[in-house]
Amino acid sequence: MDVNVKEISGVWMRGYSLDKHTTSSTPIGYNEYGYMQFDTIRPEVGEALFQLKYRSDYSQIAIIANQLYQSLGSVFSSCALIVPMPASKVRPRQPVTEIAKELARLMSIPCYENLLVKTNSTPAMKDIETRDEKISTLMGAFTVYDVLPLGKHDVLIIDDLFDTGSSLEAATNVLKSYTKIRDVYVATVTRKR
């Protein structure tokens, strides 16, 4: 798979994204229900993520996780565990969690699905005006459960899409408040900018 890895900055120690979410999206007209349709061009990893999330093509899990491992595995070699970003939409199988579990298997480290949990619902982020308000709202929605063994651990958060970074920043800040976490790293499959 051809990717265009880019560093993403934030409150985390280091972060990277594999590629853009889309390369272009052109309106092509309304469908029979009155919704605008688009001709969207995606890079390979963006298309793989689209197929996984919106077409339930679970064969994309291994492809995406393998690309994360090939492109970023050595960068995150100090990480002792992986945490999937808590999902905002309920699905029978959570794409980010599935990718995180497969990447953890490839890196021979555990994936903790129950370390960082979204315990409160939040309003739509588009309805919150400032970035700081978004982060504060999201921090109040996450809970860290004491499930790690003793020691200080470097953790890698996996997410599907990097947009403003407010969700990842909130998650990072909450994880940093946990005494068993030393450093937080992030990796996303795609990015909007």
Q: What is the CATH number of the domain that holds 111?
A: 3.40.50
Q: Are 145 and 86 in contact (CB under 8 A)?
A: no
Position 123 pLDDT exceeds 80: no
- Full-prediction pTM beyond 0.95? no
DSSP 107-126: HTS-B-TTSEEE-S----GG
Query: Would you say residue 1 lies in a domain?
Result: no
Give me the mean pLDDT over the 69-95 stretch. 92
What would the mean pLDDT of 150-176 be, rounded to a whole number? 94
Longest dimension (CA), the chain: 58
Q: Quick one: tokens of 183?
A: 């450093």
- Tell me the Cα Rg of the chain: 17
Q: What is the pLDDT of residues 97-110, one digit of tens each?
A: 999 999 999 999 99
Domain extent, residue 123, equals 6-191
Confidence at 71, pLDDT banded by 50, 70, 90: very high
Structure tokens at 141: 């929605």
In this prediction, residue 125 has a pLDDT band, given cuts at 50, 70 and 90, of low
The pLDDT of 63-85, averaged and rounded, is: 97
Domain count, the chain: 1
The residue among 74, 70, 98 whose CA lies nearest residue 84 is 98
Tell me how far apart the alpha carbons of residues 117 and 28 are, in angstroms, rounded to a whole number: 39
Residue bearing tokens 């265009």:
4
